[in-house]
Amino acid sequence: MAAEDPSIRSLLIPMEDSHLLLPSTVVAEVVGYSEPAPMPGDYPSWLLGSFNWRGQQVPVVAFEDMNSGTGVLPATRARLLVLKALGDRPKLPYFAILAQGIPRLLRVHPDGIEDMEEPMDDAPAIRTAVLAHGEPAFIPDMEYVEDEIHRVLFR
């Protein structure tokens, strides 16, 4: 009997100056970039607006902006990654993040991931920095990201 493969199918997502690493199970779809529709009201710069995805309005987040507060413009090959929200919030089943290119599939084996032990005090939306099979990447703090979106949209 063959041993079960312990690797996790993940996506290495290009950002402006780095990569995010997410398990592919949280990614609902990768779609071509289209300018998000502005949302009425006064929102932080990291909330780019929303777009219609499968008949529902999905908020779009500039992940780097959430951490640094600096504006991020979409690159030529930008994509929107629709993510499944992990929190139990009926008003926020999905949200999207701006990616600066096409994500790359990466099978991450438990032995192939190494914590870089970098302090992330100034980047609240990042849980940790890692080397995944030699690729530097950040693992986002999905709970923080969802909490912030929910706080801003449904105050």
pLDDT value at position 28? 97
Average pLDDT over residues 13-41: 93
CA distance 127 to 68: 15
- The per-residue pLDDT of the chain, averaged, comes to 90
Task: Say which residue, 121 or 117, is predicted with more confidence.
Answer: 117
Instruction: Work out the pLDDT band at 121, boundaries 50, 70, 90.
Output: low
- Residue 97 forms beta bridges with which residues? 61, 81
Mean pLDDT across the stretch 38-53?
Answer: 92
pTM greater than 0.85? yes
Region of 127 (left: φ > 0; alpha: ψ -120 to 50; beta: rest) is alpha
Per-residue pLDDT at 76: 84
**17 against 26, higher pLDDT:** 26
Q: Is the CB of residue 83 less than 8 Å from the CB of residue 22?
A: yes
Give the separation between CA 6 and CA 81, rounded to whole angstroms.
25
Average pLDDT over residues 17-43: 93
Residue 27 CA to residue 100 CA, distance in Å, equals: 16
CA-wise closest residue to 154 among 59, 81, 22, 21: 59
Give dist(CA 96, CA 52) in Å, integer. Answer: 11
**The pLDDT of residue 2 is above 60:** no
DSSP-based three-state secondary structure for 13: strand
To which CATH superfamily is domain 8-153 assigned?
CheA-289, Domain 4 (2.40.50.180)
Residue 17 clears pLDDT 90, i.e. is over it = no
